[in-house]
A and B are shown apart, each in its own frame.
Chain A
Amino acid sequence: MREKLESLGLDLPLLPTTTVGSFPKPREVMEARQKLLAGKLTKKDLRPLEEQATRFWIKTQEEIGIDVLVDGEMYRGDMATYFAENLDGFKISGLVRSYGNRYYRKPIISGKVKWRGPITVDWWKFAQSLTKKPVKGMLTGPYTMMDWSFNEYYPNRREACLDMARALHEEVKALADAGAKIIQVDEPALSARSEELDDFIIKALDIVTKGVGAYFITHSCYGAFEFIYPDMLKLPVDNFDLEMSNSELDLVEIFRRHPFTKDISFGVVDVHSHVIEDVETVKKRIKRALEVLKPEQLWVDPDCGLKTRTREEAIGKLRAMVGAAEEVRKSLSEK
């Protein structure tokens, strides 16, 4: 897909480095969000703190040497809830456990889902104004939005998902109109029910991306990809961003049997471990990927969002990742 990137005017090195989306929020933002929940602050009060934190992460990504940046999602709580709050048709539930001591508020579809205006566009514009490097537009995909919501309105999952896709198509258009050239549609739930891939997930992603001239990435994680691979290659996106290191790189074996035909953002650092990988470990993972993928197909990134790590852990992991990518890149050009 190098041609598509070039035709969009994107000049990226071999093995572009990027991140999945979220970074840890600084204490000021966390505390202010708590106060907002308690009604002691307004969203307006929060904004300058979120902007300051976004500036920090853009600068940090540039310093580390990452090629394709993200805004860091300083303004988001949960990835599904944030969109649910900004779309018509949703209520928000009480707390539900996701793992260990982590809880989230789950959206409830209680009416027809509709787009009522741009959700992420302002933040994308703000982040892009701070850097010359491309910043990805980011949204949570229709299947994950449906799967991660309670459904009290639609008769079945398919109809909920397709209406969700129609609403998100508007958001994607708005991002592209604002100038976003790389748009990531997060679908961590992708492999939830394999029979639904052909049933309606491909159709939903088609609705989301149709007619929009951007390079599309879809991120997925914690999946049982073996059940939807290679069928998932039918999804109308250019790049799959997959968690690899946390699943011990089992997918590499699967790619050996069925070659991967699209670009891939290959997760090389584990976001659920406090341990900061060293450059050698990450290099090994990249080389493992290159056993079954062409260098032109390969992007390098963490398994998932880094928001649950400390700032130091996140930065340490990204430095190891960029260091490793640079070394492998060098050894490839010497060949």
Chain B
Amino acid sequence: MELITASAGSYPRIGTAPEKQRLRAEYARLDRGEISKEDFARVQDEVTKEVIEEQRRAGIELATDGQVRWYDQISHFARKLDGCEINGLLRLFDTNFYFRQPVIKGNVRWAAPIVVGEFKFAKKVSPIPIKPVVTGPYTLARHSIDKHYHDFSSLVADFVVAIGKEVNALAKAGAEVIQLDEPSILKNPQEFKIFESAVGEVSKNKGKARLALYTYFGDAAKLYDKLQSLPIDILGLDFSYSQKLAAVIEGMGSEKELGLGLVDGRNTRIENVKETAKVVAKILKKLDVDRVYLNPSCGLDEYLPREVAFEKLKNLVAIAKQVRAEMK
């Protein structure tokens, strides 16, 4: 079994040191009309390279582009879909981060690739494999104000078609692993039926890529067996909300490859390497899959300062090293 160190989403786009705050300053200049959108996009390109390089330097083996261009994980998709307008700010789950809420005013339709260009750029400049991230149809629907369908399952169904097209385009662009983020299902387990068919439909579009369903910001222990039944290749889990999750996995094993979110992406406290490695090793002993990913519990932009994010990833790599030593 291979243990792979991975990112789980975003990476902080600015740092605390003045020389790391270029993106923030240029954003302000863009707002004031002092630079063009093209100039700003070039800065985003450079910062994307920087954050990929930081992940590599920390020892991460499967990176993301850091989502440097995203306003937030909801509106980044809704903005480019037909039928969606973007409304005011709303708190994202129980985080201190705010996203802009989509308002559905017409049929939701995929008009053009959303993150494919970002993925291609990252893939071109990165020395290590890149995993694109797509927010899932259920989570997008749950975060929208519906003024058009007046029926939640119809709204989900159209998001499914749209996100399916995006997944398909990413697979065609050469993505080997595509991460589909669906944090919302953990808070709404009663809607698993709708969710299940949504994931099933999206999965049909994955082509040769492997689909990684990532859940976070909630306790996955009680949904674990149901999540195992989904047509996905990798299941990502957030351990920071759940005391029991490790035991549940040890008891039930896993049909899927797992993404173990055992490093808390939302607290600056740095995990103890030995203790965390022990938890990982104990889970691994019960698994019979080809690969397991060790990653933070969630994306890191919005939740950690850049310097701590880097320390967290370095520490995650140290934990993986310890696990490998123990498993020998």
Q: Which residues of A contact B (CB under 8 A)?
A: 93-101, 103, 106, 108, 147-148, 150-152, 189, 191-193, 222-224, 246-248, 270, 272-273
Contact = CB atoms under 8 A, between A and B. Distances in A.
A148 B14 contact: no
B88 A270 contact: yes
B14 A103 contact: yes
B305 A94 contact: yes
B141 to A, nearest CB: 16
Nearest to A193: B94
Contact of B94 (A98, A147, A152): A147
Interface in B58-72: 71-72
Interface stretch (B46-54, B120-128, B296-304): B296-304
B90 A93 contact: no
Contact of B91 (A95, A150, A152, A222): A222
Contacts of B21: 95
A97 B269 contact: no
Contact of A99 (B27, B31, B97, B304): B97
Q: Is the interface of B mostly helix, strand, loop or mixed?
A: loop
Contacts of A101: 24, 27-28, 31
4 pairs of A and B residues whose beta carbons are closest in the complex: A94-B305, A94-B16, A192-B94, A99-B98
Contacts of B89: 99, 222, 246, 272
B272 interface: no
Contacts of B90: 222, 224, 247
Chain B, interface size: which category? 20 to 34
Contacts of A272: 88-89
B145 interface: yes
Contacts of A223: 91
Nearest to A196: B94
B159 interface: no
B12 interface: yes
Contacts of A192: 91, 94
A47 to B, nearest CB: 26
Given A96-B302, A101-B31, A222-B89, A150 B269 contact: yes
A272 B31 CA distance: 15
B256 interface: no
Contacts of A103: 14, 24
Contacts of B145: 248
Contact of B13 (A97, A106, A147, A152): A97
Given A95-B14, A99-B97, A147-B94, 5 more contacts: A95-B21, A98-B96, A101-B27, A151-B267, A272-B88
